Each structure stands twice: as structure tokens, then as C-alpha cells.
Chains A and B, each alone.
Chain A
Amino acid sequence: EIVLTQSPGTLSLSPGERATLSCRASQSVSSSSLAWYQQKPGQAPRLLIYDASSRATGISDRFSGSGSGTDFTLTISRLEPEDFAVYYCQQYGSSQKTFGQGTKVEIK
């Protein structure tokens, strides 16, 4: 099973700042099969990025994904108030699909 480790656990930033979230895999993720999700309290997750760098339908271009192999990054260029939430990475390149433990982006 591929273990995904997200860092930092919590990111305290102000609106307008840039957020950089990391996701490291315990082994190489096949075909850059990595996704990022946003989850707000009491809501279902929302797909932001798939295939490591492709934005999902309707997702703002403030969100971008990069990386390959074992190291992946989600960047939010300028934080808006609605961006404060928990973010999860997920790999789907192996038979056991796994999620990271999440990064909480909170208002500083």
C-alpha cells in the first residue's frame, strides 16, 4: 500500500497569501495518478486536481497542481476566504487507493 504523507499538518495564512501544500508518497505513484480534494466542515470532499496537474471542471485557476514520482504539490496562488478548509491528496495508481491525512489551511 502506498502511504501518502501531507505537510504541514496545519497552515496558518492570511487572505491574499500564497499556500503551498506538500504530498509525499512512500513509493512512486504510477502515471502521476494523484488527485487533490478540498473539504469544508459538514460537506463532502470536492475534486480540485486530477492526474497531478489537471484542474477539475469549474475549479478556479488559483489552484494548481504539480509533481511526479513521489513528490507532489498543491499551490493556491492567492487565498480567498472560501479557500480555508482541509485539503487531501489521493493516489489512484495502485490497486489500493489511498489518501493523505490532510492539511488544514486556517486563517491566521
Chain B
Amino acid sequence: EVQLLESGGGLVQPGGSLRLSCAASGFTFSSYAMSWVRQAPGKGLEWVSGISGSGGSTYYADSVKGRFTISRDNSKNTLYLQMNSLRAEDTAVYYCAKDYAGSGWFRGAFDIWGQGTMVTVSS
């Protein structure tokens, strides 16, 4: 069964840092680009960042560029999101999502989603 399991969320103060992880199983992880998508409480979806299957290419939403870093460890089938300089507006459920297209090329539409991990930025 294809599965994504996020972890690492929690409460952090403004200006703080947090690292999210997403453990993947049930598919050839390195063959697929991956992304993080977030959803603020009661709001819509916002794409945050994406990474190619090899990890050689990364992509960011303007709202997080320079503050967040996406990475992956294909030997561990794990995706990461390092979040620095966190702001109140970063408060959201963060979903890990698998690109629908194979070959490792980043397309940016998502056929498998994790259940999400909540990040709360507050003093």
C-alpha cells in the first residue's frame, strides 16, 4: 500500500525553527518528485515547496523562499522540510504529497497525500 506519514509538527515561537519529516512506503520513492502543501485552519490549500526525484532540483513558493528548505534522503525513503524564521502566518497543517507523474520530473500535481502534521507558530 502506498503511504506517506508526516511527523515533526508542534508549537514553536515566532522566529523559531522546525523540521518536518515524511516517511514514504509502497512505491519507488526516488522515481517521484515530492512536495509539501499546507492548509491554514479553516482555509484553502497552498503549495509550499517541491523537489525532483533525484533531489537535484528544488522549488519554493514565494511566501517561504529563503526561509524553508526542502530535501530528501532516497536511501531512507524520507522527505524533509526545514522551516526557519517561522511566522504566525505559517500556522497550518502541512501535508506531504507525491507527484502524480513518474520519471522523477517535478510536475506539481499530487496523487498521494499524507494525513498531515500541524504546525502552530505562537508565543
| Residues of A near any B CB (own CB < 8 A) | 1, 33, 35, 37, 39, 44-47, 50, 56-57, 88, 90, 92, 95-102
Contact = CB atoms under 8 A, between A and B. Distances in A.
A102 B50 contact: no
A44 B113 contact: yes
A95 B111 contact: no
B116 interface: yes
Contact of B114 (A1, A44, A47, A90): A44
The 8 A-B pairs with the shortest beta carbon distances in the complex, nearest first, are A92-B108, A44-B113, A97-B47, A35-B109, A97-B108, A99-B45, A47-B111, A92-B109
B62 A102 contact: no
A90 B100 contact: no
Nearest to B61: A96
B73 interface: no
Given A47-B100, A50-B100, A88-B45, A95 B59 contact: yes
Nearest to B110: A47
Contacts of B107: 33, 92
**Most chain A CB atoms below 10 A, which of B95, B107, B110:** B110
B44 A56 contact: no
Contacts of B95: 44-45
B46 interface: yes
Contacts of B114: 44
Contacts of A101: 44
B44 A88 contact: yes
Given A35-B109, A97-B108, A45 B45 contact: yes
**Most chain A CB atoms below 10 A, which of B47, B62, B114, B116:** B47
